Amino acid sequence: MTEEYTFEGYAWYSREFEIPEEYLSKPCFLYLERTRKTTVWINNINKGSQNSLCTPHIYNITGSLHSGANTVTILIDNTDYPTKGGHMTSPDTQTNWNGITGKIELQIYNPVYLGDVQIYPDIHTKSVRIVSRIEGADGGVLKVSAEGIGKENKHCAPGKQFLLTNNNILIDYPLGEDALLWCEYHPNLYKLKLELMRDGFVVDNKEVIIGLREFKAKGDKFTINSRKIFLRGKHDGMIFPETGYAPTTVSEWIKVFKIAKSYGINHYRFHTCCPPEAAFTAADIVGIYMEPELPFWGTVTDEGDENHNKEEQEYIVNEGFLILKRFGNHPSFVMMSLGNELWGSKERLNQILKMYKEFDNRHLYTQGSNNFQFSPVILENDDFFCGVRFSKERLIRGSYAMCDAPLGHVQTDMPSTAKDYDDSILPPIQSQEIGVDSSKTIEVQYGMGIKKVSISPEDELIPKIPVVSHEIGQYSIFPNYAEIDKYKGPLKARNFEVFRKRLEEKGLLDLADKYFKCSGKLAVSCYKEELEAAFRTKKLAGFQILDIQDFNGQGTALVGILDSFMDSKGLITPEEWRTFCSDAVLLARFDRYNFIAGQDFSAHIELCYFRDIPLNTIDFSWTLKEGRKTLKSGCLNISDFKDDNYINIGSINFQMPDVSVMKELTLILRIDSLNIWKTYPLWVYPKNVVLETERVNIFDSISCEALRLLEKGQNILIVPRIDRLGNKVKGFYCTDFWCYPMFRSISENMNKPLPVGTMGLLINNSHPVFKYFPCKEYSTYQWWNIVSNSCSVIMDETADEFRPIIQTIDNFERNHKLGMLFECKVLNGKALVCSCDFNALVQYPEGKQFMFSIFKYVQSEEFRPEVFLSVSDLRRLLD
Amino acid sequence: MLKSIDLSGVWRFQLDKEKKGSDNPCPILFICREQLLIIKKAKKTKSTKLRI
């Protein structure tokens, strides 16, 4: 995203106002809900400066107003913050705007009034502890009452009066035995009314929206009100491209959360930012577990540490206290993180955690998200751990950037549904394996750059607190250029315009929509594989996906099934997404997707279940279908569960049908009583496929014999040795991680291997070459072994109309035309080129079937390439 | 709280890239309300009165 007009500097805002005479002598505060660094003048008298990025600026202007016109002038500076501010100020997300969002108001009080009010719920006594302070006097009477709000909560708590003898308020107010608790399923809220009375008159009143809830860590899971939950989290950088800033109205946030919830999300982790109050209020209403994060992405230091910036460090810590004080009453505010990918003093981090925990025990705390990267630690005061690995090899997510290799199982492993992270979280044999050599300096990714850090081996890290996998996914999708017109606000999709122009210059613009849809389908399947692995992992407490929504900064990371406006890209429906991202996920564990006819198929069926409705019995059914035709089916009924959350339903076993031609089948799992289902595609290939090699002229280069045959008008198949091809991109099934330009650049700077950077296949699947190898237009698991034993030829120099039969979709930076299978007329003959390793392919049923289909095609009348290539052009391609 | 008085509405506004002016308020040139959008428009519409 690009701001149409950027402004970083000092902006002055001023207006006149009048207030009724009777308020002139009262305590008065100027309230600026959300802003940058401010300095305020009232009637030309300086009232001070404030700099919180996360919480309101509140100026005491008591006694500064007079009758008639008053002038308020505010200088807002969006430069030189005490800290960089992460996604509170980043141009990558909500932009570094200048101004004030939300409420701008004068708040006037009686001379005696209630100060800050903090509410501490206790679900065991069904009461709340009210902590506040009387300003302007000592003592009084506090009348307290509470009534349920919303459709579900009609409960009212009886009013009660408390005699106060000094200005400190600390009282416990019972809501009653039948008070309702707050959770994601039943976000029951109460309006707590406080009336401060003196001498029989109400001098102040306050209403606070509260929820009775207890959010705890218990073993490897979080609990809400003593019930275990699993966090299905979403990263959020507060991306609102229509305005360039986070909304401050509850209705706008409700809309956002409801969309997220329709995709199974129950948790928001705000990356280096804290949302406005409206977001917490909306999350209270919708039922979302919120985790704001301090606006810090750097190194935490203490006095005496190298490069210690006292002002910045104090600012960050204070910002945390302000967040807790301002938003801590919201029941949805359950967790807090000290920052993103922090380094520095572990002692100081531990101290900060301790201070926050002592200050506010309503939330759980973590030292940060993915701190210390390759060498994470768990601190004494950590309530939970959020990261991507426990050592270099103990990985807990499916994909990584090349500079952070080793890569993840979704990127490197032959597809199966067997992967989980339990052994990575808790190794069965706790070895001394540590991912790094003894004490040394290594380079790590640090934001969008790199950083040198010293690490030393420590004992193997065994978590005894809940583990949340950090920023999982990041599967890249080609841009949808139709989105450009949606940017009608201050932000423009200049990035998209640049990418589109590059594609146009390569003569491929007409394929943009297919690139988008095919890469999108691949990304969806990668997300499915990764999310299922998370749901299979019994020792995981949750995940934070990056993201269901596009992230338009940091090089442009189009990783969402929703665009940056939270609108669907049309790649998958919420209902289908929820089959692998919800509170009840049916899972089949099996070791591969491709089978030979008659082979045994075996799968273990599990249910990951975190709904709040206890299960008594499970009636599970399965069917194996070819199109609409049911081939096999069965059911399992169980009623005795050892575990309430990870339920072993049983095994299904059957023999694959004895097909004479290749078939794609669908395994459907279902529990109707829970209204959940799941589908897996399976491929079955005929037995005894005979490759008619002797009937096909196969060459690995354009040899003299090949030319002779072409001259004679014959057909040839060229299968170049992929290790000898120079003009190529390596075959890589998984779509690119995050975005190519960013991690290409980081890898280059770290002198590490570059990412492959491709985004799956675009297949002309109606082409007759696929007569015996039917397929979709996009990558599916029948292609995994084929792609992994292939490369794609860079065909940029060929005519625009020359399109490979199988294209590999390149990223938006390079926009290469990449061909894995293409055909052409040469001399008087015809050539089909397939840049796969046939010696490897023949070992797999799907590879052999693909070769079979190719061989049949080359011999057929249907082999009729349209484009002519000269011998020299073809040689250039295959050099 | 006894009373809140909404101060959103019409504000005078001026950009000042150079002068932080911590002692005295800067003279104000023109009027706006929606700060973020207006700031971005401001460079094109300098000295134009805007009312949102």
* pLDDT-based confidence at residue A491 (cuts at 50, 70, 90): confident
* Closest residue in chain B to residue A70, using alpha carbons only: B7
> For residue B17, what pLDDT is reported?
59
* 8 Å CB contact between A291 and A337: yes
B4 CB within 8 Å of a chain A CB? yes
Q: What is the pLDDT of residues A196-218, one digit of tens each?
A: 999 999 999 999 999 999 999 99
Tell me the pLDDT band of A373, cut-offs 50, 70 and 90.
confident
The pLDDT, as a whole number, for residue A128 is 98
Are the C-beta atoms of residues A87 and A273 closer than 8 Å to each other? yes
Location of structure tokens 């060459």: A699
CA A34 centroid distance within chain: 26
* Mutation target vs B (from A2, A4, A15; most B CBs, 10 A cutoff): A15
C-alpha distances (whole Å) from A147 to each of A154, A194, A307 are 7, 12, 52
- What share of chain A has pLDDT > 70, as a percent? 96
List the one residue out of A108, A110, A172 whose CA is nearest residue A137: A110
Would you state the structure tokens that stand for residue A391, as one six-digit string?
A: 């050592």
Backbone dihedral angles phi then psi of residue A170, each to the nearest 5 degrees: -150, 95
Q: Tell me: pLDDT of A722 over 90.
A: yes
Q: What would the 3-class secondary structure string for A85-153 be?
A: CHHHHCCCCCCCCCCCEEEEEEEECCCCEECCCEEEEECCCCEEEEEEEEECCCCEEEEEEEEEECCCC
Is there a contact between B4 and A106 if contact means CB atoms under 8 Å apart?
Answer: yes
Q: What is the pLDDT of residue A739?
A: 93
Q: In A750-796, where does DSSP find H-type helix?
A: 784-788
Rounded to two decimals, the ipTM of the complex is 0.86
Residue A74 pLDDT level (bands cut at 50, 70, 90): very high
Interface probe for A, chosen from B40, B46, B51 (most Cβ of A below 10 Å), is B40
Mean pLDDT across chain A, nearest whole number? 94
The set of residues, in sequence order, having a beta carbon less than 8 Å from that of A123 and lying 6+ positions away, is A181, A212, A213, A214, A225, A226
For A744-781, write each residue's pLDDT tens digit. 999 999 999 999 999 999 999 999 999 999 999 999 99
What the block records as the tokens of B10 is 């019409």
**What is residue A213's predicted lDDT score, i.e. its pLDDT?**
98
From chain B, the residues in CB contact with A104 under 8 A are 6-8
Closest residue of chain B to A2, computed from CA coordinates: B40
Q: pLDDT at position B32, please?
A: 39
Chain B residues in contact with A23 by the CB 8 A cut-off are 2-3
Q: What is the pLDDT of residue A448?
A: 65
Whether residue A240 lies within 8 A of chain B, CB to CB, comes out as: no
Mean pLDDT, rounded, for A257-282: 98
Task: Say whether residue A405 is in contact with chain B using an 8 A CB cutoff.
Answer: no
User: What are the beta bridge partners of residue A607?
Assistant: A586, A647
Looking at residue A5, its pLDDT comes to: 67
pTM (2 d.p.)? 0.94
A664 pLDDT above the threshold of 80? yes
How far is residue A483 CA from its own chain's centroid?
20
What's the pLDDT score for residue A439?
A: 59
Separation in Å, CA A594 to CA A55, A414, A519, A857, A870 = 55, 11, 22, 23, 39
| pLDDT of res. B48 | 32
**Does residue B40 carry a pLDDT above 50?**
no
CA distances, A72 to each of A55, A99, B9 (Å)? 20, 14, 13
Classify residue A736 by its DSSP letter: P
Chain B environment of A75 (Cβ under 8 Å) = 20-22, 25-26
Are residues A13 and B20, on separate chains, in Cβ contact within 8 Å? no
Which tens digit of pLDDT belongs to each residue from A807-858? 999 999 999 999 999 999 999 999 999 999 999 999 999 999 999 999 999 9
The DSSP bridge partners found for residue A191 are: A147, A209
| Residue A282 vs residue A446, higher pLDDT | A282
Asked if A293 contacts A270 with a C-beta cutoff of 8 angstroms, the reply is yes
Run of H or E including A312: helix A310-327
Residues 483-502 on A with a CB inside 8 Å of B are 489-490
Q: Say what the pLDDT of residue A3 is.
A: 67
**How crowded is the C-beta side of A14, counted as CA atoms within 13 Å?**
20
In Å, how far is A116's CA from the nearest CA of chain B? 11
Give Cα separations from A827 to A710, A744, A803 (angstroms): 6, 40, 19
| Mean pLDDT confidence for A574-591 | 98
Confidence of residue B49 (pLDDT cuts 50, 70, 90): very low
pLDDT tens-digit readout, A442-478: 677 666 667 776 666 556 899 999 999 999 999 999 9
Of A76-80, A483-487, A674-678, the least confident: A76-80
A11–B36 CB contact, under 8 Å? no
* Nearest neighbour of A19 by CB, restricted to B5, B28, B43: B5
Angle at A499 between CA A493 and CA A505, to 5 degrees: 140
| Vertex A64: Cα angle to A63 and A70 (nearest 5) | 135
Q: CA of B51, closest CA in chain A: separation in Å?
A: 13
Nearest residue to A549 (alpha-carbon basis) of A743, A333, A263, A340: A263
Cβ distance of A105 and B37 shorter than 8 Å: no
Has residue B37 got a pLDDT over 60? no
Do the Cβ atoms of B21 and A75 come within 8 Å? Answer: yes
Distance CA A145, CA A190 (A): 10
- Judge: A14–B12 Cβ closer than 8 Å, yes or no: yes
What average pLDDT does the segment A434-446 reach?
A: 60
Quote the minimal CA–CA distance from B50 to chain A in Å: 13
Q: Which residues of B are less than 8 Å from A31 in CB distance?
A: 4
- Would the pLDDT of A698 be above 80? yes
Closest residue in B to A80 (Cα–Cα): B20
More confidently predicted of A404 and A685: A685
Q: What whole-number distance in Å separates Cα of residue A262 and Cα of residue A581? A: 10
A395, A389 in Cβ contact below 8 A?
A: yes
Can you tell me the mean pLDDT for A587-616? 97
Average of per-residue pLDDT across A312-323: 98
- Which strands sit side by side in the sheet containing A467-473, from one edge to the other? A289-291, A267-270, A231-236, A542-546, A467-473, A385-387
Across the interface, do B28 and A14 touch by the CB < 8 Å criterion? yes
| Rounded Cα gap, residues A397 and A381, in angstroms | 25
Instruction: Please indicate whether, in this complex, the C-beta atoms of B42 and A23 are within 8 angstroms of each other.
Output: no
B47 touches chain A (CB under 8 A): no
Mean pLDDT, range A341-368, rounded to an integer? 97
A19 touches chain B (CB under 8 A): yes
**What band does A94 get if pLDDT is binned at 50, 70 and 90?**
confident
pLDDT at residue number A1:
52
Supply the pLDDT for residue A447.
66
- Partners of A57 on chain B (C-beta within 8 Å) are none
| Contact call for A7 and B42, based on CB within 8 A | yes
At A85 the pLDDT is 82
At A447, list the tokens: 């934001």
Mutate to test the interface with A, among B6, B7, B22 (most CBs of A within 10 A): B7
